[in-house]
Amino acid sequence: MAFRAPVADHRFVLDHIVGFAQVAATDRFADATVEMVDAILTSAARLADEVLAPVNRSGDKTPARLENGIVRTSPGFAEAYRAIAEGGWVSVAATSEYGGMGLPMTLATVVNEMMSGACIALQLNPLLTQGQIEALEHHASDELKALYLPKLISGEWSGTMNLTEPQAGSDVGALRSTAVENEDGTFAVTGQKIFITWGDSDVTSNVCHLVLARLPDGGPGTKGISLFLVPKFIPDAQGNPGRRNALQVVSLEHKLGIHGSPTCVMQYDGATGWLVGARHKGMAAMFTMMNNARLAVGAQGVGVGEAALQHALTYAEARVQGPTPTGEAGIIGHADVRRMLAATRADLFSARAIALSCAVALDMAKATGAPEWHARAALLTPIAKAFGTDAGIAAAEAGIQVHGGMGFIEESGAAQYLRDVRITAIYEGTNGIQAMDLVGRKLSDGGEAAFRLIQEVQDHAEGARARLPDLAGDVWAAAESLREATEWLLTRAPNDRFAGAVPYLRAFARVLGSDAHLRAALADDARLPLARIAIRRLLPEHQGLLAEVREGAEGLYAVTAADLAA
């Protein structure tokens, strides 16, 4: 499938929307010069367009398979992965101490989005490795860092995370995997894990698993869980893959999409592992990996949505079905088709801006240590993950609709985007859980971080009234409604908050996205038509969403199981 990484749009968002210049101005990221950014974007786009996109269809049609206990990947994946590794794309944001580029997370997010749009099934491999690198950098011993980080950063080895078990999905504390300390200080890890993305493959020489398990003295729930690094092959004295560890792939999941990504059921039978972080503090270490993954998954949604929109636009320009009001030959001239394409483009721009705003906040937090940046990154993470993936799913669904009957035919290629992107709203914490996190933990500061962000939107809208009074007024008013809804939520019991969490998150995203479009229109007059789509057609949705927020939980529980079954 043809795909072109949206380099110009990324440059525009970095320069005019999210304030990337302040990241490059820090001592920590002084290497992120204009020339460096341009080189990263151009090279990553070439990789996505010319190497990854051509194998996307083969991954769908010829899925990964399990043969004699070994996972065989889709045709072309090994060669494409090698290009990713050799180009250093696994380690854009990894520490330079062990061979990484040491560049901002913002640039890594841009690269991840481009690679996701080209081939999400393959991009999942380096994504998981990046998360493991981050977790080891923060929590592993110096010995583990020295042995594993160079191999992971180079892409010679890959990484996974093992949380979910058949009886323990979102309720991670219900896990049954155990770990017992050996005489040499290692641990014997036993248990079964499911939904392990890229749990095995033939594209790297070793697969390193981060596994959550409970020590004998670990208490119940998440507070008693520890984290262990369990490699497929135990490194020998020279640091090379040695003897096979006591773990195996039991089976591969048969999935709706991302067929080229092997999703494994993993069995550990006293496998040798090493403790990462403190005993019984495994969730803290794992969350380092998961939080980065949540932002990356939001970018995945945007990337696949971008590919779906490009595919639909190409079809809409070529497909002829009757005369159009514009005189254009293709169905793009029909009002409803134009509506779908314009709304999709507007939402993807909003989602991209939110994701990169989150990445900038993460970079500024790392560079400055300022608590305000940490709070902003924490607040934006669930919004970036949930809205980015929702926007990607909506884009893929609209892409099928634009194709009409041909969209329902696999040969057109439109259906793959929806099948592939649908998982992004589920893994790394469902979007409902992201929303609950937003109205729960992320408002536990009394709403300080949220109110600060809302005020910035209003201040910017106030300053824009002279040039774009109608659009600026709409954005200001929507932000004020969001402020009032936030104040209301802070007075409510937890379950009332949770009942309105999803519409609240979406309303928040609508306001942030409209602010991004307003900034875009002020920076470039050519962006004004799309800004009008976002602010006049899409932003009004926030009113209904915030009305739902205020309904609380009572009405939901008035509906009984019998009512639902009727």
pLDDT in tens, 347-404: 999 999 999 999 999 999 999 999 999 999 999 999 999 999 999 999 999 999 999 9
Does 274 have pLDDT greater than 70? yes
Of 260, 280, 300, the one marking the end of a domain is 280
Residues 134 and 222 in one domain: no
From CA 403, how far away is CA 399, in angstroms rounded? Answer: 6
What pLDDT score does 169 carry? 85
- The total of other beta-carbon atoms located within 10 Å of residue 279's CB is 15
User: Is 545 part of a structural domain of the chain?
Assistant: yes
Structure-derived torsion over alpha carbons of residues 18, 24, 29, 32, reported in degrees to the nearest 10: 100
User: Is 330 part of a structural domain of the chain?
Assistant: no
User: Is 171 part of a structural domain of the chain?
Assistant: yes
What pLDDT score does 222 carry? 86
Of 280, 296, 330, the one marking the end of a domain is 280
What pLDDT score does 1 carry? 59
Does 285 have pLDDT greater than 90? no
Residues 126 and 206 in one domain: no
User: Is 314 part of a structural domain of the chain?
Assistant: no
Helices 448-464 and 501-523: crossing angle in degrees, nearest 10, is 30
Average pLDDT, the chain: 96
User: Is 257 part of a structural domain of the chain?
Assistant: yes
Contact 509, 488 (CB under 8 A): no
Kindly tell me the burial class for residue 221, based on how many C-beta atoms sit within 10 Å of its own C-beta (0-12, 13-18, 19 or more): middle
Residues 185 and 127 in one domain: no
Residues 536 and 470 in one domain: yes
Residues 175 and 271 in one domain: yes
From CA 161, how far away is CA 195, in angstroms rounded? Answer: 10
User: Is 19 part of a structural domain of the chain?
Assistant: yes
Residues 123 and 198 in one domain: no
What pLDDT score does 284 carry? 85
Q: Please write the tens of the pLDDT for every residue from 171-213.
A: 888 999 999 999 999 999 999 999 999 999 999 999 999 999 9
Does 7 have pLDDT greater than 80? yes
Range of the domain at 179: 158-280
What CATH number is associated with residue 203?
A: 2.40.110.20
What CATH number is associated with residue 54?
A: 1.10.540.10
Q: Please write the tens of the pLDDT for every residue from 490-544.
A: 999 999 999 999 999 999 999 999 999 999 999 999 999 999 999 999 999 999 9
Given the residues 134, 165, 397, 428, the one annotated as active site = 428
Q: Looking at the DSSP assignment, which residues form a beta bridge with residue 208?
A: 159, 231
User: Is 177 part of a structural domain of the chain?
Assistant: yes
Would you say how long the chain is, in residues? 566
Q: Please write the tens of the pLDDT for every residue from 316-328.
A: 999 999 999 999 9
Q: Please write the tens of the pLDDT for every residue from 402-443.
A: 999 999 999 999 999 999 999 999 999 999 999 999 999 999
Does 57 have pLDDT greater than 70? yes
When pLDDT is cut at 50, 70 and 90, the band that residue 467 belongs to is very high
When pLDDT is cut at 50, 70 and 90, the band that residue 2 belongs to is confident
What is the share, in percent, of the chain residues with pLDDT greater than 70? Answer: 100
Residues 94 and 58 in one domain: yes
Write the DSSP symbol of residue 76.
T
User: Is 488 part of a structural domain of the chain?
Assistant: yes
Report the domain count for the chain: 3
Residues 109 and 190 in one domain: no
Q: What is the b/e burial string over 540-555, where b = at least 16 CB atoms within 10 angstroms of the residue's CB?
A: eebeebbebbeebbee
From CA 447, how far away is CA 379, in angstroms rounded? Answer: 10
Give every CB contact of residue 208 below 8 A, 6+ residues apart in sequence. 132, 148, 152, 157, 158, 159, 160, 229, 230, 231, 232
Residues 531 and 451 in one domain: yes
Of 111, 139, 167, the one marking the end of a domain is 139
Residues 124 and 221 in one domain: no
Instruction: Tell me if residue 181 is catalytic.
Output: no
Residues 135 and 163 in one domain: no
- The total of other beta-carbon atoms located within 10 Å of residue 426's CB is 14
What pLDDT score does 114 carry? 98
Residues 113 and 52 in one domain: yes
Q: What is the pTM assigned to this prediction?
A: 0.97
